[in-house]
Amino acid sequence: MTGERYSITDRIDAATGGMRMRRLRQAEWSRRLVREKQLSTADLIWPIFVREGSGAPQPVESMPGVDRLSVEGCVEAAKRARDLDIPVIALFPYTDPSLRDETGSEALNPENLICRATRAIKAAVPEVGIMCDVALDPYTSHGHDGVMAGDRILNDESVEVLCRQAVVQAEAGCDVIGPSDMMDGRVACIRGALDDAGCRDTMIMAYSAKYASAFYGPFRDAVGSGGMLKGDKRTYQMDYANSDEAVREAAQDLAEGADMIMVKPGLPYLDVLARLAREFGVPTFAYQTSGEYSMIMAAVRNGWLDGDKAMVETLTAYKRAGASGILTYFSPKVAEMMRG
């Protein structure tokens, strides 16, 4: 039995049983036919930064292509969202340093920037959903999400303020409350406070697995809390080494009444996203954070990446991992691209 020669083709057929995985990849039509996940504009939540005053958009230096908008600018952005079929926008305020204090009291002012922007958008573009963060960091002089005593962030005292913040925002017309503070028990208390205030229809998207992450840096620049932050957020945001804990956090938030859950950051935590989406089968979202956005944009600016391709690839990766939708600063751009 010497010298028997097999051709490469024979060997491959023997190994694969004749199954050629590339067969379905040969044409655009067949790739489309078997594609498992498809990104759609219905998946998008567009985070927008609001600022005081009027006039032109103010670029966020560390987030190329992202601006802080006046209230009128936000109304225009909401119209753009409507025209692009983006279901919901998420508003984040840049608060003037003179309005920040130890307890974040501006968060409770029904005339604060976020409430005025919410009312103006609701009046002009009622068909677009509005989501607002519940957390005190845009309003505190120390940049933390809760109330401080010395160098500690107080849980229950913070939750009390966060409940009032949620009601103020819901009464201004916010449709989705996004508790991003990571205090214990906040979802139950916010749900109760909303119901007591007659806001039974206001939804809660809980930042359930929110990690203490380096990827929030540019966001903190955008809302003006970066320079103010004393220390870090590791006593309330999660340790990035943990994923069993994310399951417990999500279970807890759902038991407390969350309608939707979220994982944040996004791409470095796809394992967590996939796990929660599979485990709970509830609407599960991912936040493509400012740092993820800026990494891509920095490479694009250097000519190192094709930005459009990287954008669609990363957003599709969230869908593949099981996301119901994605908060992404690319929202208007990708929606425009999908419209052709």
Closer to ligand PBG by CB, 202 or 288: give it. Answer: 288
The strand pairing partners of 101, in sequence order, are: 140
Check residue 216 for interaction with ligand PBG (CB under 6 A): yes
Binding residue (CB under 6 A) for ligand PBG from 219, 269, 318, 330: 219
| Residue with smaller CB distance to ligand PBG, 46 or 219 | 219
- 3-state DSSP assignment of residue 80: helix
Q: What angle do CA 104, 193, 239 make, to 5 degrees?
A: 60
The count of other CB atoms within 10 Å of the CB of residue 240 is 16
Is 264 one of the annotated active-site residues of the chain?
yes
| CB closer to ligand PBG out of 126 and 185 | 185
Minimum distance between the CB of residue 318 and ligand PBG, rounded to whole angstroms?
Answer: 14
Binding part of the chain for ligand PBG, among 26-34, 131-139, 269-277, 299-307 by CB under 6 A, reads 131-139
When binding is defined by CB under 6 A, the residue of 70, 290, 314, 328 that contacts ligand PBG is 290
β-pairing, 284-287 vs 44-50, is unpaired
Which residue, 106 or 145, is less far from ligand PBG as judged by CB? Answer: 145
Distance between CA atoms of residues 332 and 41, nearest Å: 9
- How far apart CA 13 and CA 191 sit, in angstroms, is 60
Binding of residue 269 to ligand PBG (CB under 6 A): no
User: Which residues, in sequence order, are CB contacts of 138 under 8 Å at separation 6+?
Assistant: 92, 93, 94, 95, 107, 223, 224, 225
Contact 67/60 with Cβ under 8 angstroms?
yes
Residue 24: HSE in the Cβ half-sphere, 13 Å Cα cutoff: 8
Q: Which of 202, 289, 294, 331 forms a contact with ligand PBG (CB under 6 A)?
A: 289
Is residue 254 within 8 A of residue 280, CB to CB? The reply is: yes
Exactly one of 122, 210, 233, 319 is catalytic; name it. 210
Single residue of 135, 168, 204, 260 touching ligand PBG by CB under 6 A: 135
Among 103, 158, 180, 328, binds ligand PBG (CB under 6 A): 180
Task: Output the smallest distance, CB 46 to ligand PBG, in A.
Answer: 12
Among 68, 81, 99, 133, binds ligand PBG (CB under 6 A): 133
Can 210 be counted among the known catalytic residues?
Answer: yes
CA distances from 17 to 169, 219, 245, 262 (A): 61, 52, 43, 43
From the list 50, 116, 128, 137, which residue makes contact with ligand PBG (rule: CB under 6 A)? 137
| Smallest separation (angstroms) from ligand PBG to the CB of 220 | 6
Can residue 60 be called a binding residue for ligand PBG (CB under 6 A)?
Answer: no
- Piece in contact with ligand PBG (CB under 6 A), picked from 33-41, 165-173, 212-220, 307-315: 212-220
Helix (H) or strand (E) holding 205, with range, is strand 203-210
Whole-angstrom CA distances from 115 to 82, 125, 174 are: 20, 15, 8
Question: Residue 235 carries which DSSP code?
Answer: T
Give Cβ neighbours of residue 81 (< 8 Å, ≥ 6 apart). Answer: 46, 88, 89, 125, 128, 331, 332
Min CB(219)–ligand PBG separation in Å: 3
Residues annotated as catalytic are: 210, 264
Residues that bind ligand PBG (CB under 6 A): 133, 135, 137, 145, 180, 216, 219-220, 289-291
